[in-house]
Amino acid sequence: MAAIDMPPRLPFWQRAVFSVPIFGRMAREVAYGDDENLLYAAIAFICGWGCSIMLFGLPGLYLPALALVPVMFLVLIVISRG
C-alpha cells in the first residue's frame, strides 16, 4: 500500500475529521487518495443502507434519508451561493 500525498499543514476541521478512527481513514482516502475511492465510498454507503433496510425494515429506509436532510440543505445553500 502506497502512502497518500497530503499537504504538510491541514486546516483544523480536516485534522478533526481525519482523527476519527474508522471514518477518518475513509475520509482521508476519499479526499487525497485515488479517484476510484469516491466511487468505492458511495458503493459502501449504499450497501450499508441496504443492510440497514434488511435488518430494520422500513425504519432502516426512512431514518438515514431523514438524517441526510440537513446535508441536502447545506448542498442547496452552497449551490445557491455560487
pLDDT tens string 5-28:
667 788 888 888 888 888 888 888
Query: d(Cα 45, Cα 33) in Å, to the nearest integer?
Result: 18
What is the structure's pLDDT at 64? 87
Q: What is the dihedral of CA 59, 43, 4, 13, to 10 degrees?
A: -30
Domain boundaries, the chain: 12-80
What is the structure's pLDDT at 36? 87
8 A C-beta contact, residue 28 and residue 18: yes
* Selected residue with higher pLDDT from 8 and 48: 48
8 A C-beta contact, residue 24 and residue 18: yes
Query: d(Cα 17, Cα 64) in Å, to the nearest integer?
Result: 20
> Across the chain, what does the average pLDDT equal?
86
Based on C-alpha coordinates, what's the Rg of the chain?
16
* Selected residue with higher pLDDT from 79 and 23: 79
